[in-house]
Amino acid sequence: MNRDLTPCQRIERSIHKKYRDVLWNPFVAGVKRYALIAPGDQIAVCISGGKDSMLMAKLMQELRRHSDVPFRLVFLVMDPGYNARNRQKVLDNAALLEIPITVFETDIFRVVSRTDRSPCYLCARMRRGHLYRQAQALGCNKIALGHHFSDVVETVLMGMLYAAQVQTMMPKVKSQNFPGMELIRPLYCVHEDDILAWKRYNDLEFIQCACRFTEDCTLCAGGGGGSKRQDVKALIRRLKRDNKDVEKCIFQSIHRVNLDTVIGYKQKGVSHNFLEWYDG
């Protein structure tokens, strides 16, 4: 029976059948839990070309087909200056997955290549700004990014270990610079290992990193580089040898913060200390 399906239909079937419990169900659960989509939303699904954003696009497309909530999607691809191989891979995968993309050009890589100070930070800020601006011009009120459960857990640890703060990656954020715009993360409850398993099962090949500084490692091989995030990934893998639920525990901890036991915290830009209420 599967021989009668197109490649795209087989991929869609894998999402709803083989990987339903680890991809489709947690995706839908996250959308509902954090109220990411409302009736009438017009959402720009931002596709970088990696495994996460491509899967997110497919899941959002499927949700649009099956949901009772009316909303509209635009599948937005920003070309920050891809090499020819990366760009073609994005186009080929969009065609394979039958995702109708809208592509726009920027010169982000060229601009970032001329700075030695925090190029990754500058690149991220410029990307976000371009995506918001283009999405708004297309009539959208939200942009969707492909950050997943594992990104959230790693971000928590990175903040504690390298920035001396407890801070997480929120499932949705209102833009400060683009009034009326909002960022959502529909893969918030989806694990990276399950995304990788889906990719391998369907024999899919995505670009690993769109960054000009690392584009020589164009095809996804499960991660690379020597960044702090890679160090944290390795730390989590070691911790999971003794406690297979360590990621779940970290994830749940940011939903169960006990302010009665927190020494200090910041809210709306104002710092607070437990001494403010200790004697009262």
User: How many domains, the chain?
Assistant: 1
Domain membership flag for residue 275: no
Predicted local confidence at residue 219, as pLDDT: 40
Closest by CA position to 64, among listed 89, 34, 27? 27
Domain membership flag for residue 100: yes
Express each pLDDT in 42-74 by its tens digit.
Answer: 999 999 999 999 999 999 999 999 999 999 999
Distance of CA 213 to the CA centre of its chain: 20
Domain membership flag for residue 273: no
Predicted local confidence at residue 225, as pLDDT: 43
Burial readout 156-181 (b: 16 or more C-beta within 10 A, e: otherwise): bbbeeeeeeeeebbbbbeebeebeeb
Q: Which two tokens stand for residue 168?
A: 């997480």
Q: Within 10 Å of residue 222's Cβ, how many Cβ atoms?
A: 11
Phi, psi of 229 (to 5 degrees): -65, -40
Express each pLDDT in 195-253 by its tens digit.
Answer: 999 999 999 999 976 555 544 444 433 444 458 889 999 999 999 999 999 999 999 99
The per-residue DSSP string of 215-276 comes to TTS-B-SS--S--HHHHHHHHHHHHHHH-TTHHHHHHHHTTS--GGG-SEEEETTEEEETHH
Domain CATH for 82: 3.40.50.620
Is the confidence at residue 178, as pLDDT, over 80? yes
Is the confidence at residue 280, as pLDDT, over 90? no
Predicted local confidence at residue 224, as pLDDT: 41
Whole-number Cα distances in Å, 24 to 39, 63, 165, 268, 277: 20, 9, 33, 35, 44
Give the position of tokens 């726009």: 104
Residue 108: CB partners within 8 Å, gap ≥ 6?
A: 80, 81, 123, 126, 127, 130
Domain membership flag for residue 134: yes
Domain membership flag for residue 272: no
Domain membership flag for residue 45: yes
Express each pLDDT in 117-175 by its tens digit.
Answer: 767 777 888 888 899 999 999 999 999 999 999 999 999 999 999 999 999 999 999 99
Domain span at residue 167? 2-257
Average pLDDT across the chain, whole number: 91
Domain membership flag for residue 140: yes
Predicted local confidence at residue 210, as pLDDT: 56
Predicted local confidence at residue 124, as pLDDT: 81
Q: Determine the average pLDDT of the residues in 253-267.
A: 94
Domain membership flag for residue 264: no
